[in-house]
Amino acid sequence: MLSLILVTLSVSVTNTQKTPQIFNSENKLFIITLDGFRWQEVFNGADPSLLYNTAFTSDTSLTKALYWHTDKKERRKKLMPFLWNYIAAKGQVFGNREYNNNVNVSNPYALSYPGYSELLTGSVDFGITGNHKKKNRNKNVLEVLNSTESYSGKIAAFTSWNMFPYILNKERNGLMINSGVEEVDSREMSSSEHMLNVLQSEVIEEPGETRYDELTYIACKEYVRKHKPSVVFLSFSGTDDAGHDKRYDQYLQEAADADRMIAELWRIVQSMPEYAGKTTFLITTDHGRGSKSSNWNKHGFFVSGSSQTWYAVIGPGIVANGEMKTKNQVFQKDLHSLIMDILAR
């Protein structure tokens, strides 16, 4: 039945859940986001109008060697090999607008806080208009799951952007969140966790709102190995940072790095008996970006293309339909119900 839910998501899960769901504690879920990563690169690989534009790509020859191919299907594999060689072979990928397989945010703002709130709460709060440090009044899926017998104390979030304690309202629910340049607090510190803390406290001189995605990933995978949480939220920010910096070459590199880390995380969990054969990965973004070479680095209410997103899913019970080519419309808020269904099956 899950495959039917996934294929007809816009029909079957748009309504708010009215009856309590019974969860299967054996089911594990990783929700992974690449901030502001366009569907255009997901499905077509490197954009030639940007790759060959020296205003956005400083070393076009190197970037071409890394990510260019005349065939867009091969090009996207060069950029995100795990997504296209593995997930697409064993799972499903949604959002290729060339087939009218559309995924969009419902909120009108197409900014990060509204997008993540929509994804994680399953609703649009029109009062969340931007990336302001205010506590989210809406309950998110992580705290809902944390209040259940099946998943209490088994939820963790690791994010590169330091706004997530507000988006997830950590003060209200006490969720385990490691966000921004935040040290890992562990009684039995691993060498990787120690290195992470040293880098963040002694090497990074002027920490900003985000940290390097590799550091976020280290914190996440070490926690997974030691504590084996059932539901993990992992959010990367490198693609959005590079986009705002007008660095298309770096934007591509950040996407490739995220794909590599997701692949390694999948390998790690499949090697652990607590996760092997029980784990689903849901990978998506919080908003799109401008669809033209003149505005690809921007997003928001007035930037066309900003509402356009995508998602991919792989795990037990997910039919291997690959790239979805049927006409369909899914909204970001619908993924909240999909998350609940994955854990309840």
pLDDT, one tens digit per residue, over 177-220 is: 999 877 777 666 777 777 777 777 766 656 678 889 999 999 99
Give residue 19's pLDDT: 52
The pLDDT tens digits of the residues spanning 295-344 come to 999 999 999 999 999 999 999 999 999 999 999 999 999 999 999 999 98
* 1 domain residue, yes or no: no
d(CA 91, CA 86): 8
Read off the CATH number of the domain in which 118 is found. 3.40.720.10
Both tokens of 304, joined, read 């066309």
pLDDT tens-digit series, residues 100-118: 999 999 999 999 999 999 9
Average per-residue pLDDT in the chain?
91
Task: Tell me the C-alpha distance between 209 and 227, whole Å.
Answer: 27
In a domain, 23, yes or no: no
| pLDDT score at 16 | 41
Boundaries of domain holding 308 = 28-344
DSSP, res 17: P
Q: Is residue 327 part of a domain?
A: yes
In a domain, 5, yes or no: no
pLDDT at 187: 65
pLDDT at 195: 74
169: left (phi over 0), alpha (psi -120 to 50) or beta: left
Kindly indicate the confidence band of residue 57, based on its pLDDT and cuts at 50, 70 and 90: very high
In a domain, residue 18? The reply is no
Cα gap 91→189, rounded to integer Å: 36
Beta-carbon contacts of residue 37 (< 8 Å; ≥ 6 apart): 239, 240, 255, 258, 285
Task: Please give the helix or strand (H or E) that residue 34 lies within, else none.
Answer: strand 28-34
Determine whether 43 is exposed, middle or buried from the number of CB atoms within 10 Å of its CB (0-12, 13-18, 19+): buried
Residue 20 confidence class, pLDDT cut points 50, 70, 90: low
Distance, CA of 122 to CA of 116 (rounded, Å): 10
Q: Tell me the mean pLDDT in the region 134-152.
A: 96
> What average pLDDT does this structure show over 260-279?
98
Say what the pLDDT of residue 3 is.
39
Helix (H, G, I), strand (E, B) or coil at 313: strand
| Best CA proximity match to 305, nearest among 315, 313, 295 | 295
- Nearest CA to 31 out of 237, 313, 246, 271 is that of 313
- Indicate if the pLDDT at residue 27 is higher than 70: yes
The edge-to-edge listing of strands for the beta sheet with 28-34 is 176-179, 155-159, 231-236, 28-34, 279-284, 311-314, 92-94, 322-323
Q: Give pTM, 2 decimals.
A: 0.92
Residue 4 lies in a domain: no
Residue 16 falls inside a structural domain: no
Residues 313 and 6: beta-carbon distance below 8 Å:
yes
Confidence category of residue 14, pLDDT binned at 50, 70, 90: very low
How is residue 134 written in tokens?
A: 């205010």
* Residue 58: partners with Cβ closer than 8 Å, 6 or more residues away: 247, 249
Structural domain count, the chain: 1
* Residue pair 324/96 in contact by the 8 Å Cβ criterion: yes
Mean pLDDT of 21-39: 94
Take residue 153 and report the two structure tokens written for it: 């104390």
In a domain, 107, yes or no: yes
For residues 257 and 238, the answer to whether their CB atoms sit within 8 Å is: yes
Q: Which position has the higher pLDDT, 186 or 35?
A: 35
What pLDDT, on a 0 to 100 scale, did the predictor assign at position 311?
98
